[in-house]
Amino acid sequence: MATRVELTPEMIQNIEQYGDQIITLDNFVKVVRQNPGYQLGSIGNKGVQNAAREVWQNSFDEMDKASSPCTWVKITFDERTCGFTTEDNGRGIPFGDMLRVFSDPNTSSNYVKKPGEYSSGLHGVGAKVTNAVSHVFTVESYRYNGEARRIEFYEGYPWKKGEVKIPNKEKKNGTKIYFEPSVEALGEISITWRDVYKWLQTIAPLNNVGDIVYFTAIDKKGKIYEEKIINQDGIFTYLIRDTESPLIAPIEFHKDNGTMKVDCAFTWDTSETSTDHIIAFACKCPTIFGTHISGFEDGLCAFFANYMNKIYLASQKKSKLTVTKNDIKCGLKAVVSAFHIKPIFDGQSKEKFTNTEMEPFMKDTINEMMDIWTRNNPKDLATICKYFKDVAEMRLSTDKQRIRLTDKYNKSKLTGLPSKYVAPKNRKGGEFFITEGDSAASLIKNHRLNDSQGYFPIRGKILNAFRTPRDKFLANPEVAGIIQIIGGGYGRNFDISKVKWDKIIFCTDADPDGNHIKALLLRFFILYMPQLIEAGKVYAALPPLYGIKLGKNKYIYLKDRMDYIKYIQKDFSKNNKVTTLDNKALSSRELSNILYKNIDYEEELTRIADNHAIDPLLLESILILIYNKVSFTKFSNSIKKQFRFISKVSKKNSTIIIEGLVGSKYQTVFVNDLLLSESKPVLDYIEQNTALAYRVNGEVKSIYELMHMFNKSAPSSIQRYKGLGEMDGQRLFDSTLDPTKRTLIRYTMDDVKSEIETIKYYEDDMSRLLQDVKLSRFEVME
């Protein structure tokens, strides 16, 4: 029983004033300035660069659009004020909408696009963020008939006069934007005109060949520099800058299906200091990660690995070489410029491109284009094949020059092993746990079997063995430590007889990051110690995803979502009978599949409904009718029939407006492209369901109502373990370490190799190894 705490006067005052500390940011400028680094990806110079790019890109998009008269862009930077001016001769900003366009979020022309109309804009936020972090932000819009308007903002807020008329005697058309970044919002800024020139040189080659950008710079002393930048070489510009000794003339290809487009050029650099380098852009935004990069890299490497190993080397009878992915990447110089009509980026800084359909599009395009290229360029193909063979032979020769692994990590002065490694008292026949992070390691230290279980915590994710050069990979402290602890060496010199461990167990969190770490470890072992997998010594622990307390010191554990569904379903089915609409009984298995398929349905629907202030049931009904593509008349009648206090359903252009009472709240709902776009996760659920309503105890219930009832029946004592460190020590031992109770997966070489070859994981986007790889094909032990 909780004991009463005697409240001090200070505590009472804090309780009374707590409500005053809870703040709602009710305008866009406050939201952005609360955390400008989140909106721009950074603050300081990097934040200014991204803010400038948002404005520039709008003008560059104008040059790309067939519907726009834009033929040039002028950019000026003044070092004295850090002020940027961007001008184009495009369509201008519609009069009367200038305030809305640059201050209201989610206002953009990018919501409606025709096939082939690509842009970097996503949801009408970019230039508004630039405005919100500017000290001064002015927009001038010019019209061909001699009219022009101007609007000014200071520290993100508009001048009271709003739009004002300005002269336009030349009757020019287009937009002119000036902004000075706010030190208050972005911190200290130290950019020079040379920095701005470099930024511009980075993105200008992505415009159409022949496009013109006029650049003017004014340094701190007032000296003016001018250059007319003409895009003469397109994306080849990047290869010219980055390649010292090209092996062959660059290979290039282009493909556009109206929804996705790619322009690509690549060669191999044979200079001594060359390293592989892929320069990538998505909708003209510089990107570090993304599905366009992984799709290009995996597609190219798969094409040439297949050609080399099955055709070129197979024709040479004495050759026992096998060309690897790293051999093909050696010296690779590539430029990948990808576009999607509805791009998805991870964050407003747009450094990671995540459209999943881009990856297969890239792979298919490379396979198609390279097949044509190889037939038309036999001499260059022979040159590349000889180069790959030479690289592979050189790689094998480096095995004789071993790296001193023991010098690559922080080691104990007593044992010579990594300082964080904890050994069992009796190493022979023991279990070696490779664990994720220090928090889980501290629990394992105090709740393991000291005689037989040792562990080594790794920091974050180890390098990808399939993507990292050999020397760099082996020099990694975690990799070097694991090799030393296992004790059998690595690569061709690996000696399994020196390995005293019975089991090597990957022990990571039951989440996407944990599965990714297991995948990276598995790649390491496949490439450098495959004999351990062949000998059946490599395992993965399966820590539970849920724990339920049944009484004092009595717990049950559920290892995955299906276990969770089946456990809750037992009690749910005792009190509820679920049938189809025509009263056909559902088997326990059929109901489990329905519940599993829709486990996140209620959460997703509620999240979107809350964002738009819509009753969840009303939103669900709207989405189902939209999905079924019913006529407006049927839509209106269905909504009014289901929600009898809805007073009006009308249509204006492409927007449906619903007004009336739902429950105790008056609703005004705008069914438009924005709502439907944000509702895509729920529409995907609707699509995968064979039925959208069931009878529960004789009453018709939608999927939302069914899942709401099911989730409410879960016991209050259930706990979701987001990580190993969230369990207490005894729970961790009982569920994951105790050989008499735990569940392990043993990896087998044939299964792992076939799956790894067919499923090309991307470094930062791999979510579920154990779900993607078919678990039923692994041998389940204990």
pLDDT of 320-376, one tens digit each? 788 988 889 888 999 999 998 888 877 655 778 888 999 999 999 999 999 999 999
Read out DSSP for 259-306? SEEEEEEEEEB-STT---EEEEEETTEEESEEHHHHHHHHHHHHHHHH
**Closest to 284 (Cα-Cα) out of 40, 48, 62, 37:** 62
> pLDDT grade, residue 756 (50/70/90)?
low
- At 163, the amino acid letter reads E
Contact assessment for residue 287 and residue 281, using Cβ atoms and an 8 Å cutoff: yes
Across residues 526-530, what is the average pLDDT? 88
Tokens of 568: 């809750």
Tokens of 410: 């922080």
**Closest to 735 (Cα-Cα) out of 519, 444, 503, 501:** 444
Across residues 221-239, what is the average pLDDT? 87
**Closest to 766 (Cα-Cα) out of 513, 434, 540:** 513
Task: Give the pLDDT confidence score for residue 353 in this predicted structure.
Answer: 85
What's the CA gap between 3 and 10, in Å, rounded? 20
> pLDDT grade, residue 509 (50/70/90)?
confident
Order of strands, sheet of 251-256, starting from the edge strand that comes earlier in the sequence: 251-256, 260-268, 332-340, 277-282, 285-287
Beta bridge partners of 411: 418
Q: Which of 3-12, 157-166, 541-550, 618-627 has the lowest mean pLDDT?
A: 3-12
Task: Give the pLDDT confidence score for residue 632 in this predicted structure.
Answer: 92
Tokens of 433: 């746990």
Angle, CA 398 vertex, CA 393 and CA 401 arms, to 5°: 160
Position of tokens 């406050």? 30
pLDDT of 263-299, one tens digit each? 999 999 887 656 788 999 988 888 888 899 999 999 9
Task: Please enumerate in sequence order all residues whose Cβ is within 8 A of that of 454, keeping only pairs 6 or more positions apart, or say none.
Answer: 421, 422, 423, 424, 427, 430, 431, 432, 433, 485
Position of tokens 């003008």? 59
pLDDT of 611-653, one tens digit each? 888 999 999 999 999 999 999 999 999 999 989 889 899 998 8
Q: At 777, is the secondary structure helix, strand, or coil?
A: helix
Tokens of 603: 């959460």
What's the CA gap between 275 and 471, in Å, rounded? 13
Q: How far is CA 100 from CA 157, 158, 477, 604, in A?
A: 12, 10, 54, 30
Task: Give the pLDDT confidence score for residue 336 in this predicted structure.
Answer: 93
Q: Is the pLDDT of residue 731 over 90?
A: no
**Closest to 533 (Cα-Cα) out of 782, 778, 758:** 778
- Helix residue ranges, H only, 435-587: 437-447, 470-474, 477-486, 512-528, 530-534, 561-575
Task: Give the pLDDT confidence score for residue 781 in this predicted structure.
Answer: 30
Contact assessment for residue 507 and residue 435, using Cβ atoms and an 8 Å cutoff: yes
Q: How far is CA 523 from CA 276, 290, 473, 757, 776, in A?
A: 20, 21, 12, 11, 20
| Percent of the chain residues topping a pLDDT of 70 | 80
Task: Give the pLDDT confidence score for residue 762 in this predicted structure.
Answer: 34
Q: Is the pLDDT of residue 736 over 50?
A: yes
Q: Which of 108-117, 265-274, 540-549 has the lowest mean pLDDT?
A: 108-117
Q: Is the pLDDT of residue 438 over 70?
A: no
pLDDT of 407-428, one tens digit each? 444 554 444 577 788 888 776 6
Position of tokens 């204006």? 652
What's the CA gap between 638 and 659, in Å, rounded? 14
Task: Give the pLDDT confidence score for residue 530 in this predicted structure.
Answer: 87
Q: Which of 238-242, 404-408, 591-595, 775-779 has the lowest mean pLDDT?
A: 775-779
Task: Say what the pTM is.
Answer: 0.46
Structure-model confidence comparison of residues 541 and 5, the more confident one: 541
**Closest to 257 (Cα-Cα) out of 341, 372, 373:** 341
What's the CA gap between 396 and 225, in Å, rounded? 53
Q: What is the mean pLDDT of the chain?
A: 80
Q: Is the pLDDT of residue 389 over 60?
A: yes
What's the CA gap between 166 and 175, in Å, rounded? 13
Beta bridge partners of 746: 539, 779
Q: Is the pLDDT of residue 110 over 60?
A: no
